Amino acid sequence: MSKIIKIKKGLNIPMVGEAEKILNTTPRSSTYSVCPPDFHSLVPKMLIKEGEKVKAGSPLFFDKYNEKIIFTSPVSGVFSDLVRGEKRRIMKIVIEADNSDDYVNFGMANPADLSREEIINKLLHSGLWPAIRQRPYSIVANPDDKPKSIYISAFDTAPLGPDMDFILNGQENEFQTGLTALGKLTDGRVRLGVHSEKTLNDGFSNAKGVEIYRFSGPHPSGNVGIQIHHIDPINKGDIVWYVGVQHVIAIGRLFEKGIYDASKIIALAGSEVLNPRYYRVINGAKISDITGTNLRNEEDLNLRVISGDVLSGTKLSENDYLRFYDNIISVIPEGDKPEILGWIMPNFDKFSVSRSFPAFLMPWKKFRLNTNIRSGERPFVVTGLYEKVLPMDIMPMQLLKSIMINDIDMMEKLGIYEVSPEDFALCEYVCPSKIDIQDTIREGLDSIRHEFA
């Protein structure tokens, strides 16, 4: 067995509402959506007009700056609505689903027999290409690049994060086919990060054609960025790709069945979910069709519904949709009520890394955490705190400061290519100055990209 990479720094936030390992199916939603903001810095160009009929796998729009990358419909139906945001930015493309399961046929094939170009073309045409993202920058990969290696993390350590073993159950073959396809895309290796104890599914631990790395330790050890950093850190000029487990399965299905089957299993979790469970859904499904009556409904209680985990997910409005990369819907209470002298009270119901709250005396306790920010933004004051939750050889505060003054040279020197906003999510969580750290990291990555674009 390979050596275990022990992640020591980090933090598991104990939250109420982990999903029970029961798989439910939801009735078909009436509408589905693809949301271009899911794909950072994407400028979509529409390929069809409102009212046109689409099949599952029919192209909807493409990337203005890379016409090869197209995005397709997850279901068959009618393109019914285009939702625009500020500056007429396209926010949502809504498909009214019909009752048939009409798929575009991309043809079955064994990826082992195909060339790299054939596999890339298949992925591009089916609309599964955007499943492959690259580091640095955490954006959709460019099909013209040759990545150094491809990374997949087989476990999720985020608060309430889904059990990937459970999700993989019964889909091991598709997963393996997907891995085989990915293996053709790089001259290097496909690297699978598994948990040293929690990963028990043979589909992961006996996966073929990949290098398996075993990790242990608290969140964010399941973040692919942390795993890359410990396996082979990214240098300037390097490009690596990464794919989520469920997208590897979808890629496998594309080759085995010849269709873009956008179904996936998500966890519906959080303290405000009455019965937190797993659901099989189609990507882009309407959230309210999944949550249904399964949410706590009290007067004077507002809920925050998040596509993704509570540390780096997307806040959803009413009538919103499941996002492309997410494996979880988290529902927590909004913290929109003032608390008298809240900053000095003992606060038995609050969790904190600081031992100035009694939480550290109750290591068994799980918390019902809300979205209250607790303070206005302050300058950096406390030092040495981010370092405790960032298991990377990176100096977080110095990097953040170099981004704030837009010092490109210093950002490079301090390792901006190795980081992604989600890796800094815990820093943002613990920050007593309440600085929006993930946004800052994203800003830094954007300015580096524009500098060299």
Q: Does 346 bind other proteins (CB under 8 A)?
A: no
Point out which span in 20-28, 184-192, 247-255, 437-445 binds other proteins (CB under 8 A).
Answer: 437-445
Would you say 130 or 421 has its CB closer to other proteins?
421
In the list 383, 405, 452, 453, the residue contacting other proteins (rule: CB under 8 A) is: 383
Point out which span in 29-37, 106-114, 258-266, 422-430 binds other proteins (CB under 8 A).
Answer: 422-430
Q: How far is the CB of 138 from other proteins (least distance, A)?
A: 14
237 touches 412 (CB < 8 A): no
Would you say 60 or 234 has its CB closer to other proteins?
234
Q: Does 45 bind other proteins (CB under 8 A)?
A: no
Dmax (CA) for the chain in angstroms is: 67
- Residue whose tokens read 């009436």: 30
Q: Does 415 bind other proteins (CB under 8 A)?
A: yes
Query: What residues numbered 140-169 form the site for other proteins, per CB under 8 A?
Result: 159
Q: Does 423 bind other proteins (CB under 8 A)?
A: no
Q: How far is CA 70 from CA 66, 94, 120, 325, in A?
A: 9, 16, 12, 16
Q: State which H helix or E strand residue 298 sits in.
A: none
Cβ neighbours for 267, distance < 8 A, ≥ 6 positions apart: 19, 160, 161, 162, 163, 276, 277, 278, 279, 327, 328, 329
Q: Does 376 bind other proteins (CB under 8 A)?
A: yes
Q: How far is the CB of 177 from other proteins (least distance, A)?
A: 32
In the list 141, 370, 419, 420, the residue contacting other proteins (rule: CB under 8 A) is: 370
Q: How far is the CB of 4 from other proteins (least distance, A)?
A: 23
In the list 84, 236, 296, 450, the residue contacting other proteins (rule: CB under 8 A) is: 236
Q: Does 436 bind other proteins (CB under 8 A)?
A: yes
In the list 31, 171, 176, 312, the residue contacting other proteins (rule: CB under 8 A) is: 312
Point out which span in 178-186, 245-253, 258-266, 334-342 binds other proteins (CB under 8 A).
Answer: 334-342
**β-bridge partners, 81:** 94
- Residue whose tokens read 């945001």: 85
Q: Does 334 bind other proteins (CB under 8 A)?
A: yes
**Minimal CA–CA distance to 139: which of 124, 129, 126?**
129
Query: What residues numbered 170-229 form the site for other proteins, per CB under 8 A?
Result: none
Query: What residues numbered 55-74 form the site for other proteins, per CB under 8 A?
Result: none
Helix boundaries (H) for 130-270: 164-168, 172-183, 202-205, 224-231, 245-257
**3-class secondary-structure state, position 285:** strand
- Residue whose tokens read 């997410």: 326
Would you say 102 or 238 has its CB closer to other proteins?
238
Point out which span in 120-128, 137-145, 168-176, 435-443 binds other proteins (CB under 8 A).
Answer: 435-443
- Residue whose tokens read 């992925």: 123
421 touches 439 (CB < 8 A): yes
Would you say 211 or 387 has its CB closer to other proteins?
387
In the list 64, 280, 374, 450, the residue contacting other proteins (rule: CB under 8 A) is: 374
Cβ neighbours for 361, distance < 8 A, ≥ 6 positions apart: none
Rounded Cα distance between 129 and 107, Å, is 16
Query: What residues numbered 82-141 form the site for other proteins, per CB under 8 A?
Result: none
Q: How far is the CB of 149 from other proteins (least distance, A)?
A: 13
**Minimal CA–CA distance to 424: which of 443, 414, 437, 413?**
437
Rounded Cα distance between 253 and 51, Å, is 29
Size of the site for other proteins (CB under 8 A): 76
